Amino acid sequence: MALRAPSMRSVASFTAPSRRLSVVVRAEGQINPSIRKSEEKVADFIKVSELPKPKFPYCDGAHVKHNKETGDNVGPLVIDNPAPAQ
């Protein structure tokens, strides 16, 4: 059985003062066709030593609406930034 890739839309915004490029991707259809489908929501945890901003990445909860609309099970990637050893 061939898997069909979901339709994706992306919006890029560019702000001159900070010179940062942001890309927002919205999926129309399921993003996760086969990973851990027996779980209601797939959420993973990773540890990193350095983040660009204290509140990065910010969770806006968009995956909740996406899951309800498409029957998908995508969840957040939870990033733990442990305090440095003293």
The predicted structure's pLDDT at residue 11: 46
pLDDT at position 59 is 76
pLDDT of 33-74, one tens digit each?
888 889 888 888 777 777 777 666 677 788 888 888 888 888
Q: Which sequence positions are flagged as catalytic?
A: 41
Query: E-strand spans in the chain?
Result: 7-15, 20-28, 42-47, 74-80
pLDDT tens, residue by residue, 3-31: 555 554 544 444 445 555 555 666 677 87
Q: Do 31 and 41 touch, CB atoms closer than 8 A? A: no
